[in-house]
A and B are shown apart, each in its own frame.
Chain A
């Protein structure tokens, strides 16, 4: 157990729907990162939050949004889902904003299947 909890582990939904993925960071970590792993794109950075504030943004679609709550858990909202959104979504946490000195701790991922 890495200490980073992601729920649900698996999610199957239809095109056009909206889903919410949840992440609880490791105790003491203030930064949360979201990554998308699709078959042909590898691990792509989506967005980072630090202590409730957005700190960095990657190739995140406008249909996707995220937030980090006062208890530091984070949610990634995916709307108007398309078949191409099917992927493994990872959450990671770290102590510092940069994460370099301390590294990232990854959760076990949420596998989203859009049908």
Chain B
């Protein structure tokens, strides 16, 4: 079975601080995909990144960066120089590459960025 754990329920930071959102996953599959989604107060789910389990390179996109470590089954997300617009709930998710298991989500981390 697949499981995604986001131990941080809520995080509050002051604008311009860096913040890291943790994600730990469990799967018996050797190939899988990991995702991060953002859910702003308006409610929609916004896709941020997809990572193949074969690719352990870290990725940076503007102020966002992701650290994938297969050895610790973690896929952490860092926001550098946070802004108020980053306030949202962030979800980490996992899907195996084979079989018919649907996307499994963590419970999410609510990030509040205070001006």
Which of A's residues lie within 8 Å of B, judged by CB? 2, 33, 42-43, 45, 48, 55-56, 58, 88, 90, 92, 97-101, 103-109, 111
B102–A42 CB distance below 8 A:
no
B97–A100 CB distance below 8 A:
yes
Q: Tell me, in angstroms, the Cα distance from A97 to B98 when the chains sit together.
A: 10
Per DSSP, chain B at the interface is: loop
B102–A103 CB distance below 8 A:
no
The 3 closest A-B pairs by CB, nearest first: A42-B107, A43-B105, A106-B45
Which of B's residues lie within 8 Å of A, judged by CB? 32-33, 35, 37, 43-45, 47, 50, 91, 95-108
A56–B100 CB distance below 8 A:
yes
Which residue of the partner chain B has the closest CB to A43?
Answer: B105
Q: What would 6 more interface pairs be, CB under 8 Å, given A97-B100, A103-B50?
A: A42-B107, A42-B108, A45-B104, A98-B101, A101-B97, A103-B47
* Contact status of A99 and B106, CB under 8 A, knowing A90-B45, A108-B44, A109-B43: no
Q: How far is the CB of A18 from chain B (nearest CB, A)?
A: 24
B33–A56 CB distance below 8 A:
no
- Other-chain contact of B91, A43, A55, A100, A107 (Cβ < 8 Å): A43
Most buried by B among A42, A45, A56, A108: A42
Most buried by A among B37, B44, B104: B44
Q: How far is the CB of A11 from chain B (nearest CB, A)?
A: 14
Residues of B within 8 A of A99 (CB): 95, 102-103
Q: Tell me, in angstroms, the Cα distance from A107 to B45 when the chains sit together.
A: 8
